[in-house]
Amino acid sequence: MKPAARNIVLPLVCLAALLLVPVFAIDSYTRHLFIIAFLYAIIASNWNLSLGHCGVFNFGHLTFFGVGVYTAAILAKTLGVNPWIAILASGATAAAAAFLIAAPVARLKGIYVVLVTFAFGQLVMQLVLSQAQITGGAEGMVRIPYLRLGDYSFLKDYKLGYYYAALFLLVVSTLFLLAVVRSPFGKSLKAVRDAEEYAAARGISISRQRVTVLVLSAIFTGIAGGFYAIYLRVASPDVFGFGTLSLALSMVLIGGTGTVYGPIAAALALTFATEALAGIRGLEEARFILIALAMILVLRIAPGGLLGIIEKLDFRDRKPAAPAVARNGP
Amino acid sequence: MIDTLIATIVSGLVLGSLYAMMASGLSVVWTTLGVFNFAHGALMMIGAFVAWTVSEAVGLGLLVGVASGTLVAALIGVLIERLLVRPYYGNRNMLLITVMTTLAAMIILEKGAQMIWGARLKQLPRLVDGEISIFSATISAHEAILVVLAPLILLSIWRFNVRTNTGRSLRAVGQNQRSAALIGIDVPVAFAIAFGLSAALAGLTGALLGSIRFITPSMGAEPLVKAMIVVIFGGLGSLGATAGAAYVIGLIEALLILWLGLYWTPFVLFLMMIVVLIFRPNGIFGGRQ
C-alpha cells in the first residue's frame, strides 16, 4: 500500500465505518461505549502530542481533562450557562491550566518534569476536594444540564446525538493534531525531542516549544472533559486518580508514541476490551491488572506500540520508524 | 497556645519520621539506579497487608508479622527490579520507561491486593500499648517508637553507605556504572541490593503504619505523593538532604493543619512545591548538577 493510500484512504474508510455504526448499533449501551472510546481517543492522541511528539515527560495530562470536566459542570449547573458554551469554555480553562504548569516544566529536566506535572494533578484534585461548596467535594456534582439543539434533546434516540457530537469532536481534534504535527512547528517539536542541543543551536527555543505544545495539547483534552461532564451529567474527582491516568497512558503506549492514529485506534480497542472484561465475573478488578501487564509487554517487545509492529510488517516502503519513546534531556 | 504548638510540633515529628522512611527508600533507588519507583507506595501497602496476615490471620504475633511484611516487600522489590527495570539498562529512554513500568507495577500490586485481601478495612494492633507525654503533648507509645526508629534507620543506612563495602559499591554504581564494573563491582547485584533495601524500608514503614492508620489497597498513594514532595524539596541526590526535607515537610504540614485546617493543607503543600521547583529546580537543599 502506498503512503498516500494509507494516510488518506484508510482513515477515511475508518471514519465512514464509524459514521455508519449507529445504523447497526441501535442500543444505547453500545453507543455509550463508542462515545466514551471517542473521548479517550481525544485524550490519548492529544497527550501523545506532548509526550510522544515533543518528548515532554508530562504526567499531568489528565489534569487538563479534569479541569475541563469541572469547568463545564460549574458553568452549566451552577451558573446556568448554555452547555454548548460550557464545553467550549472547558477547552479555554484547560489551556490556561496548561499554561500555568508549563512555567516550571519549561525550566525542568528529566524526572522533575514527571514529578511536578504529577503533583500539579494532585494540586488541582486537592483544590476540588477542599472547595466542596463549589465542586461538591469528594461526592462530586450530579444532574448537570444536558445538551439540546433548538428543541431537540440529546437524551432522545438512544444517544444518537451524543454519538455524532463525540465523533465530530474526535474528527476535529484529529485534524487539528495532523495540522500541528505536519506544520514546521510540528517538525521543530520532533527536533526538540530527538536533538535538543542541535535544535537550540538552530534557533528553536526549547522552553517556548514546550509551553506551546502543552497548551495546544490541553485544548481538545479540556473540551473532551467538558463534553464528558455534560454527557454523563456527573463530575467526580476520580478523573484525577491513578486509574484514569494508567488507562490513558496504556492507550498512548499500546497505540504507539509519536503517531497520530495509533493512540486513537488503541483507545477504541482498549475501551471495548476493558468493558468486555468488566462483564466477566471476577475480572472487574483484574482487568486493570491485565491492562498494566499489556503496558509492560508492549514496552518490552514493541516499544513503538503495536501499530509500530503492523507498520513494519505491512508497509516496507516507509522509512524506518522514528525512535519509539520520547526523550527528555540527558 | 504553647501547648498547642508543642502538640503540633510533636505530630509534625511523627509525620516527618514517616516521610523520612518513605523518601529515603526512594532516594536510595534514585541515587543508585537513576530510577524513580512509582510502586514504592504499593510496596509499603504490601508490607502492611502481609504483616496483618501473618500476625492476625495466621496468629504468629506482631513482631513476626512486621518482619515478614518487611521481607516480602523486599522480595517483591527485587522482583520488580529484575523484571521491570533491568531489561532497560542502557536504554536512552530508561527514565521514562521505568516510570511507566513501575506505574504498571503499582496498579498490579494495588488491584492484586484488593483481590486477595478484599476491601474491608483492617488494622494491626500496636507494638506497645500506652501513651507517652512529651512536655504537655501526648502521643501513643507506638508513634513514639516510629519517631525513635526513623532516625536510627536513617543513620544505619548512612553508615551502610559510607562504611561498608557493599554500601560503597552502591554509591560507586550510582556515580559511574562502567567504572564500577571495571573495578570488579557486580553492577546487577548492586542494583538488586538497592531495590531490595528500598523495598524493605517501604514494607517496614507500611507494617508500622498499619497500627496507626487503616490498611487498604490504596493506603500507599498518599505517603507516596508526600514522599514525592519531600524529594522535590530535598532534591533526589542525597540521603541527608532527603531526610532533612522529610522532617521540614512534616513540621510544615502539622503547622499548616493547625493554621489552615485539613482541607487547605495539601493544596498549600503542592503550591509550595511548584514554587520551589520554579526557583530551585534541584530542590531547596539540592546542589547544582
Closest to A226 (Cα-Cα) out of A53, A83, A329: A83
Residue B288 lies in a domain: no
The mean pLDDT value of chain B amounts to 88
Per-residue pLDDT at A322 exceeds 60? no
Q: Say if A300 is an interface residue toward chain B (CB within 8 Å).
A: yes
Residue B286 lies in a domain: no
The stretch B222-229 carries a mean pLDDT of: 88
Per-residue pLDDT at A329 exceeds 50? no
DSSP of A248-279: HHHHHHHH-TT-SHHHHHHHHHHHHHHHHHHH
DSSP assigned state of B122: B
Q: Cell triple for residue B237?
A: 541526590
Domain extent for B269: 2-279
Residue B287 lies in a domain: no
Give bridge partners of residue B133 from the DSSP assignment. Answer: B138
Among all chains, which residue has been given the C-alpha cell 513494519? Answer: A312
Residue A317 pLDDT grade (very low, low, confident, very high; cuts 50, 70, 90): very low
Q: Say if A240 is an interface residue toward chain B (CB within 8 Å).
A: no
Q: How far apart, in whole angstroms, are the C-alpha atoms of residue A251 and residue A86?
A: 27
Q: Which of A62, A122, A297 is the best mutation test for B, with the most CBs of B within 10 A?
A: A122
Amino acid at B117: W
Residues of B in contact with A118 (CB under 8 A): 228
* pLDDT for position B141: 87
Q: How far apart, in whole angstroms, are the C-alpha atoms of residue A189 and residue A192?
A: 5
Helix (H) or strand (E) holding B139: strand B137-140
Name residues whose C-beta falls within 8 Å of residue A186's C-beta, 6 or more positions apart in sequence. A53, A180
* pLDDT for position B6: 87
Residues of A in contact with B103 (CB under 8 A): 242, 245-246, 249
Q: A287 versus A180: which is more confidently predicted?
A: A180
ipTM rounded to 2 decimals: 0.86
* pLDDT for position A220: 97
Q: A258 versus B209: which is more confidently predicted?
A: B209
- Distance of alpha carbon A80 from the chain centroid: 27
The region that residue B235 occupies, defined by phi over 0 for left and psi between -120 and 50 for alpha, beta otherwise, is: left
Residues of B in contact with A326 (CB under 8 A): 93, 96
Binary contact (A300, B281; C-beta < 8 A): no
Residue B129 pLDDT grade (very low, low, confident, very high; cuts 50, 70, 90): confident
Residues of B in contact with A126 (CB under 8 A): 266-267, 270
Amino acid at A177: L
Binary contact (A303, B30; C-beta < 8 A): no
Per-residue pLDDT at B82 exceeds 90? yes
Taking CA atoms, B275 is separated from A48, A105, A206, A211, B232, in Å, by 27, 12, 21, 17, 11
How many angstroms away from the CA of A260 is the closest CA of chain B?
Answer: 20
Residue B204 lies in a domain: yes
* pLDDT for position A326: 45
Residues of B in contact with A101 (CB under 8 A): 274
Q: How far apart, in whole angstroms, are the C-alpha atoms of residue A77 and residue A136?
A: 12
The stretch A27-55 carries a mean pLDDT of: 92
Residue B173 lies in a domain: yes
Contact of A288 with A243, CB cutoff 8 Å: yes
Of A89-93, A165-169, B66-70, B126-130, the range with the lowest mean pLDDT is B126-130
Chain A residue with Cα closest to B97: A299
Among all chains, which residue has been given the C-alpha cell 510522544? Answer: A52
Number of Cβ within 10 Å of residue B117's Cβ equals 19
Domain with residue B149: its CATH number is 1.10.3470
Q: Cell triple for residue A2?
A: 502506498
> CA A311, A37, A163 angle in degrees (round to 5)?
120
How many angstroms away from the CA of A285 is the closest CA of chain B?
Answer: 6
Number of Cβ within 10 Å of residue A156's Cβ equals 9
Helix (H) or strand (E) holding A323: none
How many H helices and E strands in chain A?
15, 4
Per-residue pLDDT at B216 exceeds 50? yes
What's the structural domain count of chain B? Answer: 1
Q: How far apart, in whole angstroms, are the C-alpha atoms of residue B108 and residue A118?
A: 20
Binary contact (A249, B92; C-beta < 8 A): no
Q: How far apart, in whole angstroms, are the C-alpha atoms of residue B33 and residue B190?
A: 9
Q: How far apart, in whole angstroms, are the C-alpha atoms of residue A252 and residue A46?
A: 9
- Name the phi and psi angles at B131, rounded to 5: -130, 160
Of A49-58, A250-259, B193-202, the range with the lowest mean pLDDT is A250-259
* pLDDT for position A282: 73
Helix (H) or strand (E) holding A152: strand A152-153
Binary contact (A126, B36; C-beta < 8 A): no
Residue B289 lies in a domain: no
Contact of B249 with B257, CB cutoff 8 Å: no
Q: Which of B85, B256, B267, B288 is the best mutation test for A, with the most CBs of A within 10 A?
A: B267
Sign of CA dihedral A45, B85, B21, B172: negative
Binary contact (B232, A295; C-beta < 8 A): no
**Ranges of H-type helices in A145-279:** 160-182, 184-194, 196-201, 206-232, 242-255, 261-279
The mean pLDDT value of chain A amounts to 86
**Chain B contacts in chain A segment 57-96 (CB below 8 A):** 57, 59
Among all chains, which residue has been given the C-alpha cell 499489556? Answer: A294
- Alpha carbons within 13 angstroms on the beta-carbon side of residue B273 total 36
**Tens-place pLDDT, residues B237-269:** 778 888 889 999 999 999 999 888 877 888 888
Residue B131 lies in a domain: yes
Residues of A in contact with B221 (CB under 8 A): 242
Residue B86 lies in a domain: yes
The stretch B121-148 carries a mean pLDDT of: 84
Residues of B in contact with A299 (CB under 8 A): 97, 100-101
Residue A84 pLDDT grade (very low, low, confident, very high; cuts 50, 70, 90): very high
Among B100, B221, B271, beta carbon nearest to A242: B221
Domains and CATH numbers, chain A: 3-314 (1.10.3470)
